[in-house]
């Protein structure tokens, strides 16, 4: 039951905000019918990877996310890798805020959080605040901070052999 709680209340939402914020901030937005299956599947991948590869889950998941986004959404490597790095920066910002502010105030240790599913989910949502804000900014106000996809600079746009955009 604890595994399902963390999967549905933390890992799947985190996969959603991680993908949508990063991709959106580099200029790639897509409809829910396209991203929903991706984030659902990737939330499961996140859950399994954290259990199997902790503490090395971050580089493993970053690489998997870049590859999965590249092929699932048919975007360039530059767009995909840029999106992953933007999302990692935002997630680390959220984790730093929680670690520096909440942990000392509540006298929490990382071990306490990792071993209590309710606390894990609550703290996990706190770490996602920058990703949530970025996702809202992308989908509500059209934020793009690093135009790697589409007409926003062309650096991450795939082109065919004749030079046409794909």
For 151, list phi and psi in degrees, rounded to 5.
Answer: -85, 0
More confident of the two residues 157 and 141 = 141
Q: Where are the beta strands (DSSP E) in 6-160?
A: none
> What is the number of structural domains in the chain?
1
Rounded to 5 degrees, what angle do the CA atoms 68, 70, 75 make? 150
Q: Which residues contact 77 (CB under 8 A, 6 or more apart)?
A: 66, 70, 156
Let me know if 136 is exposed, middle or buried by CB neighbors in 10 A (0-12, 13-18, 19+).
middle
Note down the domain range covering 118.
Answer: 2-141
Packing angle between helix 77-97 and helix 117-127, nearest 10 degrees? Answer: 120
| Within a domain: 150 | no
Residue 119 has pLDDT above 60, yes or no: yes
Residue 151 has what pLDDT? 53
| Euclidean distance between CA atoms 162 and 166, whole angstroms | 11
Which of the 8 DSSP states describes residue 99? Answer: I
Q: Six-digit token pair at 1?
A: 């039951």
| Within a domain: 151 | no
More confident of the two residues 41 and 154 = 41
| Euclidean distance between CA atoms 86 and 108, whole angstroms | 28
Model confidence at 108, in pLDDT bands (50, 70, 90)? very high
| Within a domain: 162 | no
Residue 65 has pLDDT above 70, yes or no: yes
For residue 102, give Cα distances in angstroms to 109, 113, 123, 129, 145. 10, 12, 9, 13, 29
Residue 162 has what pLDDT? 44
Residue 125 has what pLDDT? 96
| Within a domain: 107 | yes
- Chain segment 22-62, per-residue pLDDT in tens: 999 999 999 999 999 999 999 999 999 998 998 899 999 99
| Within a domain: 158 | no
Residue 153 has what pLDDT? 45
Residue 132 has pLDDT above 70, yes or no: yes
Once rounded to an integer, what is the mean pLDDT over residues 10-27?
97
| Under 8 Å between Cβ of 147 and 23 | no
| Within a domain: 11 | yes
Residue 165 has what pLDDT? 54
| Within a domain: 91 | yes
Residue 2 has what pLDDT? 84
Residue 1 has what pLDDT? 76
| Within a domain: 164 | no
């Amino acid at each position: 039951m604890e595994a399902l709680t963390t999967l549905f209340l933390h890992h799947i939402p985190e996969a959603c905000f991680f993908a949508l914020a990063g991709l959106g901030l580099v200029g790639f937005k897509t409809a829910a019918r396209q991203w929903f299956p991706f984030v659902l599947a990737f939330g499961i991948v996140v859950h399994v990877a954290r259990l199997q590869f902790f503490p090395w889950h971050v580089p493993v998941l970053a690489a998997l996310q870049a590859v999965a986004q590249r092929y699932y959404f048919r975007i360039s490597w530059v767009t995909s890798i840029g999106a992953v790095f933007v999302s990692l920066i935002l997630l680390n910002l959220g984790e730093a805020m929680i670690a520096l502010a909440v942990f000392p105030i509540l006298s929490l240790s990382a071990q306490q959080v990792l071993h209590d599913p309710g606390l894990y989910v609550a703290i996990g949502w706190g770490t996602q605040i920058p990703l949530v804000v970025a996702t809202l900014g992308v989908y509500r106000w059209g934020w793009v901070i690093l135009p790697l996809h589409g007409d926003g600079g062309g650096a991450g746009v795939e082109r065919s052999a004749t030079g046409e955009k794909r």
